[in-house]
Amino acid sequence: MTTLFDLQGKTALITGASSGLGEQFARCLSGAGARVILAARRIDQLKTLAAELNNARAIQMDVSDKASVTSCFAELEQAGEKIDICVNSAGIAVLTPIFAEDDNDSFESIIQTNLMGVWYVTKAVANHMKNHSIHGSIINIASINGDAFPYKEATAYATSKAAVIHMAKSLVTELSRHQIRINSIAPGLFHTPMTDHKLGTDQQRQEFAEQIPMGFVATPKDLDGALLLLASNAHSSYITGSCITVDGGKSFGTSWGA
């Protein structure tokens, strides 16, 4: 069936595809007709998801490890894969309060995954697209915490996401000359395995919802529209360096955890 954002004939690589937002991104792009390459560390979960989707491939990749990223792209090149769309969704989030006795490992691991991981994959896929003359789309999954809306004691996470947004803007000039677009999506609070522990009880969930102007905590599917828009050259050929905020208006509310 033809859809508004028809991605038939396109191939999308999604990092962090084993759960949460990444899993929904894979389902969304597959539903729009794209072949999807699922990348994450948890290969068993990827294989289970790949079996559910049409025309999907699972590949084990640790984005925080440059050698792992390089090896995976070499494997994909050897297999003849041509990547049109890349979604940098892999990420971690833990609190890094400055007055904690020792959080250096947590701070560094967040930066390594959320920032360096995006750089490793972006560099690899941009060179892949350039070498194969692919007019591609790279989509970085950022956060409203990286766009002047920090969450208390989440300095490493907010810093990594701010850098990801700025990375996309900074790469526009280099990538545009090869007809490669790069944009970001900044989600607010969504129901995912990474955030549900924070949402807690039904009463706490309601309290969070009341802080959001739209009145509810979103599900990953609520990001489908922004994702499909940026993935589609037919509908966003003139959009690059942008960051689409999807947060139910929370950016205009009070700070979480204040």
Q: Give me 229's structure tokens.
A: 């828009």
C-alpha dihedral sign at 69, 70, 76, 77: positive
CA 44 from centroid of its chain's CA atoms: 20
Contact 255, 149 (CB under 8 A): yes
CA dist 71 and 69 (Å) reads 5
Q: Please, is 205 exposed, middle or buried when counting C-beta atoms within 10 Å of its C-beta (0-12, 13-18, 19+)?
A: middle
- DSSP three-state, residue 182: strand
CA dist 247 and 255 (Å) reads 13
Contact 116, 108 (CB under 8 A): no
The answer to whether residue 238 is catalytic is no
CA dist 134 and 113 (Å) reads 26
Q: Is 217 left (phi over 0), alpha (psi -120 to 50) or beta?
A: beta
Residue from 92, 138, 93, 94 nearest 119 by CA: 138
Set 120, 151, 157, 238: catalytic member: 157
Beta bridge partner(s), residue 182:
138
The residues annotated as belonging to the active site are 157
